[in-house]
Amino acid sequence: MDNTFNINWDGLTKKRYDSWMRNHERADDCLGNVRVGETCFDFVQIDNEDFFTVDCYVYGIDNGYATTEDGAPYDMYDGFCININEKESYEDFVKEVNNEIIHFFVYTQKEVVDHAQKPLLVW
């Protein structure tokens, strides 16, 4: 498997990250998302936990999970968790998450990796 992925952080900017950490926005709050090809990773904190759940959604797979606003199917796959460290810089957070995403793709289904290696699709 090619471990080169184009990880797009447009949905979770430094400005958003710094504001979220500074203002302690918590409880069932979505920090944002990171996209890789046709996959999307949502970062959500649930019930004031000290970590984000990071769920992976894959565009174009129809297992009955959900559809986009324009009716295209997508499915949810496993994800991972990232600890919340209020002293962690955005740059260090990005590095940590990028490593976790690559690790996720190494151990997930080939079908998901195939979608991640396609051109970026914002859906």
3 band by pLDDT with thresholds 50, 70 and 90? low
3-state class of 23 per DSSP?
helix
Q: Over the stretch 69-121, which tens digit does the pLDDT of each residue have?
A: 999 999 999 899 999 888 899 999 999 999 999 999 999 999 999 999 999 99
Q: Where are the domains of the chain?
A: 7-116
Q: What is the DSSP letter of 71?
A: S
What is the value of pTM for the model shown? 0.91
Predicted pLDDT of residue 24: 63
CA angle 59, 27, 37 (to 5 degrees): 20
| Residue 64 φ/ψ region, left for φ over 0, alpha for ψ in the -120 to 50 degree band, beta for the rest | left
Predicted pLDDT of residue 39: 98
Q: Over the stretch 38-83, which tens digit does the pLDDT of each residue have?
A: 999 999 987 777 888 999 999 999 999 999 999 999 999 989 999 9
How large is the average pLDDT for residues 12-21?
A: 90
